[in-house]
Amino acid sequence: MKVFLVGANGQIGRKLVELLGSSSEHSVRAMIRNPEQANELEKLGAQTVVANLEGSVSELAEAVKESDAIIFSAGSGGSTGSDKTLLVDLDGAAKMVEAAEQAGVDRFVIVSALQAHNRENWNEKLRPYYAAKHYADKILESSSLNYTIVRPGGLLNEPGTGKVEASKNLGRASIPREDVAQTVLAALTEEHTFKRSFDLISGDHSIPDALKNL
Amino acid sequence: MKVFLVGANGQIGRKLVELLGSSSEHSVRAMIRNPEQANELEKLGAQTVVANLEGSVSELAEAVKESDAIIFSAGSGGSTGSDKTLLVDLDGAAKMVEAAEQAGVDRFVIVSALQAHNRENWNEKLRPYYAAKHYADKILESSSLNYTIVRPGGLLNEPGTGKVEASKNLGRASIPREDVAQTVLAALTEEHTFKRSFDLISGDHSIPDALKNL
């Protein structure tokens, strides 16, 4: 698959670039805001495309055309305020959904957050962030696209274990970013994840088994 | 109609309380966060109900039950940050939509902002606010409710003229809050506004004519 990656410079994004860049099954085009980011990502095996999530839908549609799938793992991050949460995590994601529809890119996998679909379980200190993720996910679910929404628990930088638990509703727990990236990659082509949303934490199952048993 | 008003303490909300409170056709229940706000609104002819847009959907559903219609003119206002824009203007509105569905209150009129549906026309300084309104409107449009979305231009405190222009797309212009309140009131029972969204500015038409010709 020709995979278009949004958020390639994020921590999960970089792992996805490495995995996709070294895959024989896929190729990866990484969206970057700044041409200076190109060199490093190209070394990891990605092509790069300059575009901005705060730009227009038509600019984004132009960037994604001829891709087979979009992975959205972008986020404005903790260092900016809720202004950017609204404009990047929510509106940016929604624009990318519209761009995918316009460009005829049917497959769309988004990295969300554990329990983003249940307001009562939102992390109290991060409620605005969870609200943005919640509505971005809703927009994707109500789109015409073949979506998968992956909602990982607390993200760790330790090495992946390859063992996860995936289900509609899971209690608060953590997972290495590497396992999230591996799960997103596996979900791309696993039909059992099509039009499905699930929580994801560390667990006892191999990633393929966890996805098949959703 | 028994009208449930969210945002009764806002500037448009107060005018709506006055109009509804003195109407022979309608009665008004005003949602308030703080019991201390009750006295003043009751003097204007409203009953009051204590509930919080940052509370749960079930709390809001309890508050709206037995109403015939909901008017949502609440906003977190300019003095708080985008955190509250996300949690009140977007999530609060969406929760109220869910509460209406749960409680079987079918009619829902929301006060939005001119061109909130067209990103390219969002006020550059207020983009996060417009994003929140945009998605709140989208959630309402994709609900099962009989909605009307009123998108007024720049709000003025001068007296109303009773003359407006209403249409799907209008250029940037202003309108007195009093005319917005009168239009919302007229829209409540005007079938031609059912399941419709429109921009609203000062113009040449009487409010009933403007709504009939949408």
- Number of structural domains in chain B: 1
Query: What pLDDT was estimated at residue A77?
Result: 80
**Using only C-alpha atoms, what is the Rg of chain B?**
16
Residue A78 pLDDT greater than 80, yes or no: no
Average pLDDT, chain A: 96
Which pLDDT band holds residue A80 (cuts at 50, 70, 90)? confident
pLDDT tens digit string along A45-71? 999 999 999 999 999 999 999 999 999
User: In sequence order, which ranges of chain B are alpha helices (DSSP H)?
Assistant: 11-21, 38-43, 57-64, 82-84, 91-103, 127-141, 177-189, 207-212
- Best B102, B135, B137, B142 member to test A by mutation, with max A CBs in 10 Å, is B135
Query: What pLDDT was estimated at residue B77?
Result: 80
Q: Specify whether the CB–CB gap between B49 and B32 falls below 8 A.
A: yes
Candidate from B94, B131, B142 with C-beta closest to A90? B131
Query: What pLDDT was estimated at residue B80?
Result: 85
What positions of A carry a catalytic annotation? 129
Sequence-ordered list of residues with C-beta below 8 angstroms from that of A40, at least 6 positions apart, any chain:
none
pLDDT tens digit string along B35-58? 999 999 999 999 999 999 999 999
Give the structural domain span for B74: 2-212
Candidate from A82, A134, A139 with C-beta closest to B82? A82
pLDDT > 70: what percent of chain A?
100
pLDDT tens digit string along B141-173? 999 999 999 999 999 999 999 999 999 999 999
Q: What is the CATH number of the domain that holds A196?
A: 3.40.50.720
pTM of the shown model = 0.94
Closest CA in chain B for residue A86: B128
Q: Tell me if residue B129 is catalytic.
A: yes
Residue whose C-alpha is closest to residue A86's, from A23, A52, A131:
A131
| CA–CA min distance A187, chain B (Å) | 28
Average pLDDT, chain B: 96
ipTM of the complex: 0.92
Which pLDDT band holds residue B140 (cuts at 50, 70, 90)? very high
| CA–CA min distance B121, chain A (Å) | 12
